[in-house]
Chains A and B, each alone.
Chain A
């Protein structure tokens, strides 16, 4: 497991320099959103970019648990599935708007996380991972056997997927809405990292016994992290709906959690936007390589092994090392 480490914490600067750095990052991110949103003309690529933002949200929710408290949340896909099913059920069964379904999904996910976390978060390591995997399995079987969730075929044929006046069936609008939501969630997570709650999580991840001896209620803070991660996963599930146009029990499959874990590990758990980098690689690269789904798992698993060997902190570590090497070279020339 990689570390949040001092480098990540430096991003949380509490002084004026830290605020300026964050401001520059936000402006750069906004510029990138505008560049991609206005520059891409292909409907396919705009939709894919929007889906990537949704998937990145899911990867961020996984990283709250993985990079935040050091647990492997194999069952996180359950919350993703709740987020995908809630608007689908609201639209198809009750004729309610998409936004309402998104909110319902987030609330149900948070409530489910509170109940499940209350029971499972006393477990750690492999025990938590296996129990959480089991929970997602139960959820998957449940939606498979319930009529109003469409059974094995799932739900599809949604009348209107829109957020207020923004119609998500338009690829450019879909991209702008998802990317702005992603940016807002990133800003929220950056603030969490530099808050008392974020410090508690990082101390728990590094040494829960020491954190406890310093007055941190380890169980409560871990539960808060879990409850925070669930609605973000649900939001991701909802925002992937305009791309997939269908929701099936497989949306709750553990393989979805594994995909997000791979993306997080590729980008790096220690960096706030590491999961976003990983998600871009995970969704965009296969488009150029024309992978079969099974081959994709094989290739990315090999990639993970390679990254763990050369850059255990994620790919951003390579960029950092390259930067440091360049600085060394320029200094030696002087």
Chain B
């Protein structure tokens, strides 16, 4: 794994909210093509770190390079349009629209036509529409949403809505996808389906997951970083990392002397 180039390099990242240090000189390296987990107890700073890696939150100090971009210096939409996808903790989709319309909205970065192309039904517009039909059919099939394409997003079961959130991200052709607690609130079947989906989409992509479900982390991740009290205390395989004495202490509390 370490032989692969790093797609994410975060160096000495700090984040302060007033006098509170949420992150204390965190270093993270994520190898290209890996499935990487960011775990830790509540309040450990993993969500803050996650938002900084996606370019949503700016760090107080330190540098973050994703795909070679300094994400702290770029607006969020630019980061997104250059191959960095993300899903949100609370299911994010265009709930008033159908699944297919959701994908149409998500194809914004991949389309090029302007209003005149649309009015004149020019070659550019037709090419965009053809590409959308082809791409959306693929994404729907990968995410198991083909049969739902004409359904309103708000009418879908919870697990299917989470798959739709991933489908939206896939429409942007991301090289790296950040997933914020993707299996939270899912039942066993939905979690198993989602893990299978993650395995399908991780081929040729880097996936970064923030998750509390250790079974899902163990099933998916090549490597995890455990965060405790704003620091990254260990980076290893899920199996090894969870045995680390500091991690055990953080999750279970210190043993009585």
Interface residues of A (CB under 8 A from B): 3-6, 9, 14, 188, 191-192, 194-197, 199-200, 202-203, 206-207, 209-218
Contact = CB atoms under 8 A, between A and B. Distances in A.
Given A14-B129, A196-B128, A213 B95 contact: no
B216 interface: no
A195 B114 contact: yes
A216 B152 CA distance: 22
B114 to A, nearest CB: 7
15 contacts: A6-B96, A6-B98, A9-B98, A192-B118, A194-B118, A195-B117, A196-B114, A206-B94, A209-B88, A210-B88, A211-B105, A214-B105, A215-B81, A216-B77, A217-B75
A205 B114 CA distance: 20
A6 B98 CA distance: 6
A207 B75 contact: no
B96 A215 contact: no
A117 B16 CA distance: 33
A6 B80 contact: no
A110 to B, nearest CB: 15
B104 interface: yes
Contacts of A210: 88, 92-94, 168
Nearest to A221: B108
A84 to B, nearest CB: 27
B191 interface: no
A191 B95 contact: no
Interface string B93-131: 111111001001111110111110111000000001100
Given A191-B115, A200-B108, A213-B76, A206 B88 contact: no
Contacts, number: 95
Given A6-B101, A199-B105, A213-B88, 17 more contacts: A4-B96, A5-B97, A6-B97, A14-B129, A191-B115, A194-B118, A195-B114, A196-B114, A199-B108, A200-B105, A202-B94, A206-B96, A207-B92, A213-B54, A213-B85, A213-B92, A214-B108
Contacts of A194: 118
B75 A5 contact: no
Contact of B76 (A3, A4, A196, A212): A212
B93 to A, nearest CB: 7
A114 B227 CA distance: 46
7 closest residue pairs by CB, A with B? A215-B109, A215-B81, A195-B118, A203-B105, A3-B96, A215-B80, A206-B94
A206 B108 CA distance: 15
Contacts of B9: none
Interface of B: 54, 75-78, 80-81, 85-86, 88, 92-98, 101, 104-109, 111-115, 117-119, 128-129, 152, 168-169, 171-172
B108 A195 contact: no
Contact of A216 (B86, B104, B108, B129): B108
Contact of B113 (A6, A195, A203, A214): A195
Nearest to A202: B105
B97 A215 contact: no
B113 A196 contact: yes
B96 A197 contact: no
A212 B80 contact: yes
Contacts of B81: 215
A215 B115 contact: no
Nearest to A197: B115
A209 B54 CA distance: 13
Nearest to B113: A196
A213 B80 contact: yes
Contacts of B168: 210, 214
Contacts of A192: 115, 118
A9 B96 CA distance: 11
A218 B112 CA distance: 17
A213 B169 CA distance: 8
